[in-house]
Amino acid sequence: MANSGIQLLGFALSLVGVIALIVGTILPQWKMSAYIGDNIITAVAMYQGLWMSCAFQSTGQLQCKIYDSILQLDSALQATRALMIVGIIVSIAGLGVATMGMKCTTCGGNNKVRKSRTAMTGGIILLIGALCAVVACSWFAHNVIRAFYNPYTPVNTKFEFGAAIFIAWGGSFLDVLGGAMLASSCPRSKKPVPKYPAMSGVSARSPPSSTKEYV
């Protein structure tokens, strides 16, 4: 059986990863304006996230605007939204399943083999949710890099990575690590116990011979 300490560590890493995924999804700093070229303007910093765009003034004032219409957004941003939401929901479900299979909980009965299989199932579900988040972050980052190095993109509209995408990336990798620890709770097969064990100190007697001796 897997060590209960590994299960606790995997659950803690997965929980921190899910929290980081939620925070990263909400924050608007998925990409920020890149100051390149001869004319550098530092009075306003532009941020764009999955749900809103923000402008940070030099006076310290932050103004944000939620995207008005979903249909006006590009398909890449909509797919990133969907993958992040699916990843968070699946990861939360995986945490719930893993909780019932951990050794330190009383859920799921006292069958150790069944609890280990439940914890392994929760770890696999966590890995699926983390994979969705990794794909979403990598896809968004690929689009940012492609637009940045596109020569037809105006200089004042180029963006680079923001803090939120790194938070989401870190949360997804923590989710992968924690899910892998929980998935290692695969039960081992036990050796069969003999039904009639031999008693110590008693020697087996041979059956009586059917042949008779004649003098």
Tell me if 80 sits within 8 A of 140, measured CB to CB: yes
- Tell whether 200 is covered by a domain: no
- Tell whether 134 is covered by a domain: yes
- Tell whether 205 is covered by a domain: no
Average pLDDT over residues 199-204: 48
- Tell whether 78 is covered by a domain: yes
Lowest mean pLDDT among 22-26, 70-74, 127-131, 190-194: 190-194
- Tell whether 9 is covered by a domain: yes
Give the separation between CA 186 and CA 118, rounded to whole angstroms. 9
Report the percent of the chain where pLDDT is more than 90: 35
- Tell whether 163 is covered by a domain: yes
Helical spans, DSSP H, in 149-203:
163-183
DSSP H or E stretch at residue 47:
strand 44-48
- Tell whether 115 is covered by a domain: yes
Can you give the residue range of the structural domain that contains 134?
Answer: 4-27+73-183
CA distances from 210 to 104, 206, 213 (A): 62, 12, 10
Please give the tally of structural domains in the chain: 1
Strand partners of residue 62? 56
Give the separation between CA 146 and CA 153, rounded to whole angstroms. 10
Strand partners of residue 56? 45, 62
CATH of the domain at 177: 1.20.140.150
Average pLDDT over residues 120-130: 92
159: three-class secondary structure by DSSP: strand
Residue 82 has a pLDDT of 93
Q: Is the pLDDT of residue 2 over 50?
A: no
Pairing of strands 44-48, 52-57: antiparallel
- Tell whether 60 is covered by a domain: no
Give the pLDDT confidence of 132-173 residue by residue, as tens digits: 999 999 999 999 999 888 888 777 778 889 899 999 999 999
Band of pLDDT at residue 24, cut at 50, 70 and 90: very high
The residue assigned the tokens 């909980």 is 105
Residue 74 has a pLDDT of 83
Q: Is the pLDDT of residue 182 over 80?
A: yes
